[in-house]
A and B are shown apart, each in its own frame.
Chain A
Amino acid sequence: MNVSVTCLRPFARFLVPFTLQRRKRNLYPIILQRYMCSKIPAVPYPNKENSSPPAQLELDGWKTTMKSSLQEESVSTVSNKDEDSFAATRELIEMWRLLGKEVPEHITEEELKTVMECPSKASKKKYLKYLSIKEKLKKARQMKKEVKAIAREEAKKAKLLETTEEKQQNFLFLRLWDRNMNIAMDWKGAQAMQFGQPLVFDMAYDNCMNSKEMRNTVSQVLESEGWNRRNVDPFHIYFCNLKIDSAYHRELVKCYKQKWDKLLLTATEKSYADLFPKDSIVYLTADSPNVMTTFKHDKVYVIGSLVDKNMKPGLSLAKAKQQGLATQRLPLDKYLQWDIGTKNLTLDQMIRILLCLKNTGDWQEALRFVPKRKHSGYLEVSQYSQDFVNKLKKTKTFSSYPQNSLNVGKQKK
């Protein structure tokens, strides 16, 4: 850890000769025991600094031992400013760890660079906390793995002791379930590619997101694709506006690896407006004024694939407005007693809801996938319509547009 001495500068005396901690097991305990006598007269508050209590000697024993650690006469001078700040950052993190702050134990060069590029102290701490949580999870997984391995070993041993005679058994199938499932899913996927209903993921938001949001989005896209693959009647997924070599594309290829070219979906640089007739496209966005009442099997639904953590409302609505597309939002208020949280759902929740609607058409069933923490239960539809009627009664005009009387509250923030 010590930076080697390269040159002596005239200002070397400013650089305080810090040395590294050396584990020294010498006579400290003995010295201490001499200092620590068991009778300590109670002098709670010394009034003056100089009037040291009689207990001072015993109390200050630790200082001598702390100071008397080996003094290495090393004058660390700066050879390379860049390297120095690297080392300094590393040491800062180490000291934070000693202080009990949430920082990782081991840090790679790349991560260290990221830390140094963080503009503020707060962002440094935030990133380090993220790394430390990641590290803890990794450790926990490792532990679990080891425990499992030991358990398996023991089970094996037990089995070996048990099985003394070979028993002839008859089976119908070999155990190749996973492979068969994959093949079956691929057949279905191929079918969907030919005859399935299109579902578009709009990938044009890569410049609105920072790297963290981007990572989250990609993992959500992966999950969505997985849910779709397992369904009885999958969608034919399109990744539209996916520019080759954009951040999005790189991330996806990085996650899927060699599977990327074998995926049964359509990834294209084109826009959905070029692929499908405009009047069949419906852009799903939580900001839309129109509520989706039924799932139409002849429409092309577009989901904007973005994670919006820094509150840029109305991005996807603006896009749909610009292209003159129809927009819809899920009828969350109609069916759920909404509590907290934004009404933007994650991409995988969206696709599961849509798949469920496609197969059953039952909203209650489909909205199972809305996180339970966000609502306090289902609204009775009868109750909703009751409220609706009451509202109309209040307005005393049954002939008016229900849309408007409903939306009055929403018009103004």
Chain B
Amino acid sequence: MAFCLSGFRSFPKLWKNKPYFELDPGHSSLCFFSPGYCAIRSQQRWFSLKTMSPQNNKAMDLLIANTRFLKKGDKDHKKQVSSDSSYLFAAGAAKKRSLLTNLQSKDHALLKERSSIQLPTKPLNSEEWDRLKEDFEGKANFEDWISSQMTQCHASIDVAKSLLAWVAAKNNGIVSYNLLVKYLYLCVIHKQTSEVIDVYEIMKSRYKRLESSGYGLLIRGLIHSDRWREALLLLEDMKKVMIPSKKNYSDCIQGALLHQDVDTAWNLYQELLGHNIIPMMETLKAFFDFGKGIKDDHYSNKLLDILLYLRNNQLYPGESFVHSIKTWFESMPGKQWKGQFTTIQESGQCLGCGKTLESIHLSPEEYEYLKGKIMKDVIDGGDQYRKTTPQELKRFQEFVNSCPPFDIVIDGLNVGKMYTKARDSQVLLNVVSQLAKQNLQLLVLGRKHMLTRNARWRKDEMEMIQKQASCFFADNISEDDPFLLYATLNSGNHCKFITNDLMRDHKACLPDVKTQHLFFKWQQGHQLAIINRFPGSKITFQSILRYDTVVQTTGDSWHIPYDEDLVERYSYEVPTKWLCLQRKT
């Protein structure tokens, strides 16, 4: 026993992951959260693992292979929601879920074929370079290879310079463009502005035009020098063939701000937005950082516009950016802003100031718009036959209009398939009857095959379900999710839907980003995800957010959600941390 527990640390994967021991997912993840239980569980497991020693890699691999095989079968575990994260769409929730349910794939870090060559740490003369070249055994061109290695390891520029000198000596004083670009990269990394300018002169005299990476590096290098205006010329040059990247714009804007040329910076920013590029957070942060000392209403209005831009595009600043915003607000003379980092209560009240945040609910116009778009793009999508048939659509619409508005719409198949061990119809019946006790108008959506008798769908249970809820069964080859969305939207704002599906594919059918944001907002406010881990227990749902996670203001207060540096946020999640700014009156 003692041995097992000592080795316990070295096998975190083994006891984290359920499939090894073929327990149902509930067990393993539960032991995550209840320490007492966990200890007992893990000890039992360690009995079964006793024979394994850390060296026994083969057995490990076998186990892993087995779990891979098992994993193929039980897809629905992926949809299980960890009971730890308080909220389905909270930042980091998906990461947690994946840690719970997936194997952390072993890092088979393939050691790169390292050549035996040690990168030189000091400048070499030509004989030494020659010798190094002889030692090099690879298919690549030696000069290319060694310079790539240098850029990766950020070698000192003197070493790179000695390489270039050697190359030039061999080729009549000519250094090829790609070596120059790599050298330029090193100069920019090491902030050697005078070298950058030297290379810039060389490139100017040798080449008529450069390409994107050369331009990008020159711009990044030149903005710190007195000749920063030439970076703008280079940007103009780039525009002739392609739209410059946000990084290029970002560099130019930062250069302009460094040299106190505010108008140029704003013009570039407008141009960037004109190209429909989403600016880098770094760029926006630079404006805020620059604005710290400025007493200029015009400038501060522009900064507030940036905040509104973040709001309209559902962008969230990062941690350092949000600090800049806070400092700028607090540095405003005579306004007495006070900022604090906080979280929001479930009721939607800010813990810092007690104000209630904007509601998650859509305005009536937005609601109607979204309903129309779901109908037009998700269900119809230009060809009604792809997800359903016109006859079925008609049948569905007549059915929905003949019923009173629903309170809850249930995705029968998704709910039924929550647990692998339990029978589908029984799980569904359990959920439906528990909700029916609360006197809610229910709608269960499913497919016709649920009605044909088989092991997973028992007829008597289906009949019980039909007594307690209205049901609509789509054809077996139709999609049921679009109907679910439409039925929920059609019933009105109070109606919620139950499914653990994140609906990402349907969100992707929507035509533009704005509509997708609307859909996501509506989804956050109306989706109930079941978090039970065992069939038969009383169902509990993920709490629904009451407030909208978006940059917002009431004039004398700002609330700004932000991303923490150490939390990995997926695209369908929202941050949980906020900056609350108040004006002292």
Contact = CB atoms under 8 A, between A and B. Distances in A.
Contacts of A58: 165
Contacts of B456: 395, 408
Contact of B158 (A32, A55, A63): A55
B214 interface: yes
Interface stretch (B24-32, B86-94, B105-113, B447-455): B447-455
Contacts of B193: 49
A331 B201 CA distance: 67
A322 to B, nearest CB: 4
A315 B383 CA distance: 9
B162 A40 contact: yes
Interface of B: 121-127, 144, 156, 158-159, 161-162, 164-169, 172-178, 181, 192-194, 198, 201-202, 204-214, 233, 240-243, 245, 383, 385-387, 389, 413-414, 417, 447, 449, 452-456, 476-477
Interface in A81-97: 84-85, 88-89, 91-92, 95-96
Interface in A303-360: 314-315, 317-319, 321-322
A92 B241 contact: yes
A397 B161 CA distance: 80
Contacts of A60: 161, 165, 198
Contacts of B242: 92, 121, 124
A314 B205 CA distance: 58
B126 A99 contact: no
A30 to B, nearest CB: 10
B406 to A, nearest CB: 22
A157 interface: no
Contact of A31 (B161, B173, B383): B173
Given A96-B211, A321-B389, A66 B174 contact: yes
A40 B164 contact: no
18 contacts: A14-B233, A19-B206, A21-B207, A29-B169, A29-B172, A32-B173, A43-B158, A44-B122, A44-B159, A55-B123, A62-B167, A66-B168, A84-B240, A85-B241, A91-B208, A92-B241, A404-B449, A411-B476
A95 B168 contact: no
Interface in A53-83: 53, 55, 58-63, 65-67, 69, 71, 76
Contacts of A21: 206-207
B66 to A, nearest CB: 17
A69 B165 contact: no
B218 to A, nearest CB: 12
Interface residues of A, number: 75
A28 B169 CA distance: 8
B235 to A, nearest CB: 12
A234 B156 CA distance: 70
A405 B161 contact: no
Contacts of B158: 43-46, 53, 55, 59
Contacts of A18: 204-209
Contact of B209 (A69, A88, A121, A322): A88
A59 B156 contact: no
Contact of A43 (B122, B213, B477): B122
Interface of A: 1, 14, 16, 18-21, 24-25, 28-29, 31-33, 35-40, 42-46, 49, 53, 55, 58-63, 65-67, 69, 71, 76, 84-85, 88-89, 91-92, 95-96, 98-100, 116, 120-121, 124, 289, 314-315, 317-319, 321-322, 394-397, 400-401, 404-405, 407-408, 411-412
A374 to B, nearest CB: 16
A121 B192 CA distance: 29
Contact of A317 (B174, B208, B417, B477): B477
A397 B202 contact: no
Contacts of A65: 168, 172-174
A396 B204 contact: no
Nearest to B389: A321
A289 B181 contact: no
A103 to B, nearest CB: 10
A149 to B, nearest CB: 29
Contacts of B213: 99
B165 A36 contact: yes
A281 to B, nearest CB: 16
Contact of B156 (A35, A45, A400): A45
Contacts of A36: 125-126, 165-166, 169
Contact of A401 (B161, B172, B454): B454
Contacts of A53: 158
A76 B181 contact: no
B207 A29 contact: no
B198 A63 contact: yes
A277 B204 CA distance: 73
Contacts of B192: 49
Given A49-B194, A411-B413, A32 B168 contact: yes
B208 A63 contact: no
A404 to B, nearest CB: 5
Contacts of A61: 165, 168-169
A85 B273 CA distance: 23
B168 A62 contact: yes
B205 A69 contact: yes
Contacts of A124: 242
A322 B391 CA distance: 11
Contacts of B212: 92, 121
B194 to A, nearest CB: 6
A260 to B, nearest CB: 32
Given A37-B125, A40-B125, 11 more contacts: A19-B208, A31-B173, A32-B165, A32-B168, A40-B124, A53-B158, A95-B210, A98-B177, A121-B243, A408-B449, A408-B454
